Structure 1
Amino acid sequence: MNLRALAAKALFDVLEKGLSLSVALPNQQQHLTNGKDKALLAEICYGVMRALPQLDKCVSDCLSKPFKGKQRIIYQLLLVGCYQLYFTRIPPHAAISETAEACRQLKFEGMVKVINGVLRTIQRNATELSTSNDTLKFNTPAWIIKRLQQAYPDDWQHVIEQSHQRPPMWLRNNRNHQTRDEYLALLAQADIAASAGSSPDSILLESPKDVGILPGFFDGAVSVQDGAAQWAATLLAPKDGELILDACAAPGGKSCHILEQADCQLVAVDFDENRLQRVKENMQRLQFTAEIIHGDAANIDSWWQGNKFDRILLDAPCSATGVIRRHPDIKWLRKSQDIEELAELQRQILDHCWQWLQPGGQLLYATCSILPQENALQIQAFLERTKDATLVPIAQQAPAETGWQILPGTQAMDGFYYALLHKSAQ
C-alpha cells in the first residue's frame, strides 16, 4: 500500500477513532521497509496534525458536502494531499497522482475523480491558507487559546509558536557508564554535534539522529529523554538505600534515571499495563532491576503492603499541553472539559500518595502541562488542605511562583511543571 494511503489510515485512526498518533503512526510504518518512506509518512502525519484547522478549511471549501462513515478516510486523504501541496517540496503533479493512487488502493475507485478535482482546484487557486480567526491563525483549538490567554496574558502567542516548532532531540547520559563530558567526546568522535544542557546529565543534539548511530546506546550508555523531563530525578535527589515510588512510571525514563543516580529500592507502578512493557524494556537495556507493578496510584493499599516510601515521584496524568510540539494530536484529542476531570484525578492521586510518604520524606509532583489548573493552582489547594506539607523552593523557579513552570522552548526544553513537597517529621 502506498505511503499516502497509510498516512490517511493513520489520520483516520487519530481523528475518527481517538487513537494517539504515537500509536497510530507505528501501526502504519510497519508496512514500510525504507527508512526515508517511514520518515516521510511521519512528516505528513505530524504536519497534518500541526496545521489541521487551515488544511480542513482549505479542503472543506472545495467540497459540496462532508464525507460520512467509512468515506471519512477520503477526507483524511485530501488533508494528506493538501499538506503536500502547501508544506512539502514534492512536485504537485506527483503529490496529486500518488494521492489519487492511494484512493484506488483504499478501494474507493469512485472517489478518484473527487481527489483529483479537489487537489487540482487547490493547486490552481494557490491561495494562502486562511488566518481569518485565531483557531486558523494559530492552528490551535479556541479552548486552548483561551486558557493560555488567561494563564499567560503577555506570552500566550509565544507559547503557541513554540508549541509548533519541531522538537529537538535530547539525550540523558548514564553516569554509571561515563561522565557527560566523556560522552560528549564520544559524540564528537562520531561527528555528532551536541552540547551540554542545564540539568546535570542532559545533552542536546544539534539535529535528531537515529539511536542506532549513538555511541553505546544499546549498551545503556545513553537514553533519549527531553531536557525538562530529566529534572525529575535530579530534583527528587534519591539516596542510596532509600525506598522510592515512581507513581505513574510508564514509559520508564524517569525510573531509570532515578536508578542511575542512586542504589535505591525502586517501585515503579502504572495503571496502563501495555505501557508497563516499555518500562521493562528500558530497565532491561540499562540492566536495572525494580519492582514493576500494574496498579492504581490512587489506591496503593490494593497492591503494596510494605513500608511507607522515603521519596515519591508523582508524574501525574495531565493534559500534556507542554509537549504539543512532540505530540500535536493532543490539540485535537483533548477537550476543554478534560482539564477539570484531570485536575480532580491529580488531586485524588496526590492526596493518596501523600499518605504513603514517610514523615520527613519528599514528594515531587510533576506534569508535562502548562495549565495552572493542573500545576500551581493544584499545589496551592493541596498545601491549604494538607497541614503537614510544605513547599520546598526549587532554585530555578521565580520567587513568587508555586513550583517551577517551564514553558515550551525554554532552553530548548518541553513544557513541564515541578513542585517539591516536604512532609513534616512530626
Structure 2
Amino acid sequence: MSDVIILGAGIVGVSTGIHLLRRGRSVTLIDKREPGRETSFGNAGIIQREGVRPHAFPRDLAMLMQVGLHLSTAARYEPLALPRLAPALLRYWWASSPESYKRVVASYAPLIGRSIIAHQDLIEQAGPDAAALIQKGGWFLAFRSDEGLRKEAAKAQADKERFGISHRVVEWPELKTIEPDLKGGLAGAIHWTDPWTVTNPGELVSQYFKLFEKLGGTFVQGEAKDLTQDASGWSVTANGARLSGKQAVVALGPWAPDLLDKLGYRLPLFVKRGYHMHYGTEGNAKLNNLLLDAEVGYVIAPMARGIRLTTGAEFALRDAAPTPIQLGKAEAAAKELFPLGDRRDPEPWKGARPCTPDMMPIIGKAPKHDGLYAGIGHAHHGFTLGPATGELLAQAMTGEKTAIDIKPFGMERFL
C-alpha cells in the first residue's frame, strides 16, 4: 500500500506526485497512457501568468450569432450535443455575467499568480533538459483591427495596475521587425512579457515525470476502475492489479466523472474540445514567437515539430468523433498572415479540456469522503496551473497551510 494513489498522469497528477514525494509520502501514479500524452500534450504551450481572466461565455449578440450560425473560428458546437451540454452551458453563461465574472477573477488571479513560481520550482529540480524547453520572451496577442487593439490595450493597462502584469503595445511596423515573415493584415499586438512559452509541452511533462521517478514515485500503466473506500483507505483496479493508498487523488481531467459519479459527486463538468496540427513553412520563413490571432481565434507557435496551430473551443461530447471543420478554418486564416507550409502530422490531434461552469478548477478535498481529493476542471489553463495545483493539493493533504486560499476552488460549491 502507498500513502497516496493518484489517478491521472497528466501535468496535474505528475506535479501532485512530486510535491507529495517531497513531503515524505509514498506515491503510486496510475494512467491508461504514458504520462502527459492526453490533454497535457496538445496545447499552445503557454505558462499563462497573464491569464487572470478565464475564458468567459460570450454575451454580446454578434459573437453569439457567429457561433450559432457556425461562422466563428474561435468556437463551434455540435448540435446533437446541446441537449446534454445545455444545463452546464446555462450555468456558464450565468457565471459570465459582469458581476459574477468580477468575483471569479478576484478568486482566480491568486491561483494564476502561482503559475510561473510553481513551474520554475519543478523546472529547476527536473534539470537542464526541462529548462531547454522554456522560452521567456512572452507571447503576442495580435489584432487585425485597430479598434480591437486599442480596446485590448485598455484592458491590459487595467490588469497591469490591478495585478502587476507586464505588457507592451506593439504597433504593426515594430511587429513586422520582430516577425519579418508575417505577411501583413495586422494592426499590431499586445506583447505579454511575463508568461513563458514551451517548445514541446508533452516533453516538459515527461521531464517532470522523470523527476517523479527520481524521487521514488511508482507508475502503473492501466485504466483505473472501481475506486472504492475501505477501512484502510482507497483502492482501485488497474492493469489487473488492486492498488491501494491511504489517500487518493482524482486528477483525470475530462475522465474524472467516470469515477466521481459513482461516488456521488455528479459535478457539472463539460468539455471544450480542441485540435492541433504541425506545419512546415514556405521557403525559409521563420516564426520567432507564439502569436494568437485574437479576432479570429487560433494560435500559431514555433514548436519542436514545426509550427503548431491550435484551435479554439469545440463544444461537443467528450468521446464523439473528431470534426475537421474548425482546424480547416483556422488553417486558412493563419495562411493569410504567415506562410505555413505542408502539414506534418498524419491527422489532427484532438483533446478535451475539462471545464466547470464557473471557469474555476476544483482543487481540494472531496466533501463526502475522508482521504479523497481532486484536482480537475482547469479548462484552458491546465498546462499553466498543473504545478500550482499539485503544490496546493500536497499542502492540503499533509496539513500544511496552502500557499493561497483554496476555498473558492472547493468541490462543495457544486453539491
Asked if these proteins are the same fold (TM beyond 0.5), I'd say no
In which range does the TM-score fall when normalised by the shorter chain? Answer: under 0.3
1 or 2, which has the higher helix percentage? 1
TM-score (norm 1): 0.24
Instruction: Name the structure where strand makes up a greater proportion of residues.
Output: 2
